[in-house]
Structure 1
Amino acid sequence: MATVLITGCDRGLGEEFALQYAEKGDRVIATCLDPDAFSSGHPNIANIEVEKLDVTDESAVLALATRLHGTAIDILINNAGIPGPHPPLEGTDTELWRQILEVNLIAPFVISKAFAAHVAGSEQKVIAFVTSRMGSISLNNTGKSYAYRSSKAGLNMVMKSLAIDLGPRQICVLGIHPGNVATTGGRGMTVSESVSRMREVIDHSGPHQTGTFYNYNGQILPW
């Protein structure tokens, strides 16, 4: 049984990660902005521990890391993030941009640093970031989305540096693009399928894969 810590479990990918790992029998520590809503929505899952956490509150992150001192975390999934909007040049809101950078870029770094020792003490030793191919400079052929693209490009660089710095501790650090996930009435994979495929990438990872930017299907994406 592995121990998995996941951020941003209020809905979407984070919620699904928590449910799938719990169904597998793993111990899940699911962080949420509204833990009561999560618990009331999933009342009968004994192996999910729900923690209230605003990922931008560094003191709260450090407090949680202290409470979990001595807990070996096999898989840390930095999932919490702001997914949009994606306006053109003229519609870019710089105040929102700062908020997106705080949530999508700085918070995952703070969390990874706070829990690195917990991950190093585990058997699996994986830190995974839910990133985006929109953070790939090579794949940007359409422009727009300055805030979101820059947050994910920055996250990819954070991931790469962490892979180097945590390499001596045998921690595998990955970035994974979840694919085109369908919203209500839209096209694309289901949330369940996306998470299942990303879990496969995580399950097959090890020290030799550290610092890699993956698509949900295991394909390596260009920077």
Structure 2
Amino acid sequence: MKILITGGGRGIGLELASFYAMRHQVSVTVRDERHANKVASLGARPLFLDLNQQQSINDLAKTLNGEAIDILIHNAGVLHPEGDLDEVDAFNFAHSIQVNALGPLLLTQALLPNLLAGQTRKLVFITSLMGSMSDNGAGSYYSYRASKAALNSVAKTLAVDLASDGVKVGIYHPGWVQTDMGGPRALIDVGTSVAGLTARIDELDETRSGRFLNNDGTPLPW
């Protein structure tokens, strides 16, 4: 299979790349050239992508023109920590929406011909339980919560709109993971998270498309 993973230079993305590169032909997007070397060492192909720039999305689509993609995994994301209302910043809020929600939508739009040329037609979004309205009992993190809620809405809508094309959409919370973003107090390590995520991706079919699931398969509230 041919797999494309965004944001694969570190953390969950790099672990996903490591898992799939042992089995399949994998391309991984990075924003930092230093991360490209780590990706290449796994046997995967590093590609540059900045989801904050439409031209970068267009350039990636040109690079991949004519290539089939069996699984497209949207993993790239950004978190601006806002402990309270006073820390909300307009630029950071817009940046979160662009990278975490609009960017994945525009990239899906640009790479849809590649996905339709693939055999499995799996479209995966690594989101967060922090995008859940029902589960929000802690507050704070305004831009991150809003952007992940927007991503969930985008992914669910794509599941509806692309169903007739045979595209299956996975919407997965990776857990609170011990990464640079999740921090050392997080509950699970990267290997545990990715083991669950890859199992969910493997079982993704028409009956599971468009569902919001934890990495262990537990249904989550919107």
In the alignment, is residue 195 of structure 1 matched against residue 194 of structure 2? Answer: yes
Q: 1:88 aligns with which of 78, 84, 98?
A: 84
| Shift, 1:42, TM fit | 5.3
In the alignment, is residue 4 of structure 1 matched against residue 3 of structure 2? Answer: yes
* Letter of the 1:34 counterpart: D
Give the corresponding residue for 1:70.
66
* Letter of the 1:159 counterpart: A
Structure 1: stretches of 5+ with no match in the other structure: none
Name the TM-score, length of structure 1 as normaliser: 0.92
- Summarize deviations over 1:70-102 as a string: whole Å, max 9, x none: 211111011110133132122212221111111
* Letter of the 1:57 counterpart: Q
- Summarize deviations over 1:155-180 as a string: whole Å, max 9, x none: 00000111111111100112110101
Give the corresponding residue for 1:33.
31
In the alignment, is residue 114 of structure 1 matched against residue 110 of structure 2? Answer: yes
- Summarize deviations over 1:192-215 as a string: whole Å, max 9, x none: 211121010010001221111111
Structure 2: stretches of 5+ with no match in the other structure: none
Partners in 2 of 1:27 and 1:43 — Cα distance?
A: 12
Partners in 1 of 2:160 and 2:40 — Cα distance?
A: 40
In the alignment, is residue 143 of structure 1 matched against residue 143 of structure 2? Answer: no
What SS does the aligned partner of 1:30 have?
Answer: strand
What SS does the aligned partner of 2:46 have?
Answer: strand
Q: Aligned residues: percent identity?
A: 35
Partners in 1 of 2:46 and 2:40 — Cα distance?
A: 11
Contact 2:4 2:27 in 1 (8 A): yes
Contact 2:80 2:92 in 1 (8 A): no
Partners in 1 of 2:41 and 2:67 — Cα distance?
A: 24
Give the corresponding residue for 1:51.
47
* Letter of the 1:69 counterpart: N
| Shift, 1:44, TM fit | 4.0
- Summarize deviations over 1:110-144 as a string: whole Å, max 9, x none: 11111112111111111111101110111111221
Give the corresponding residue for 2:208.
209
CA RMSD between the two structures: 1.5
TM-aligned CA distance change 1:59 to 1:134, over 3 Å: same
Partners in 1 of 2:186 and 2:160 — Cα distance?
A: 37
Structure 1: 4+ residue segments shifted above 4 A: none
What SS does the aligned partner of 1:173 have?
Answer: strand
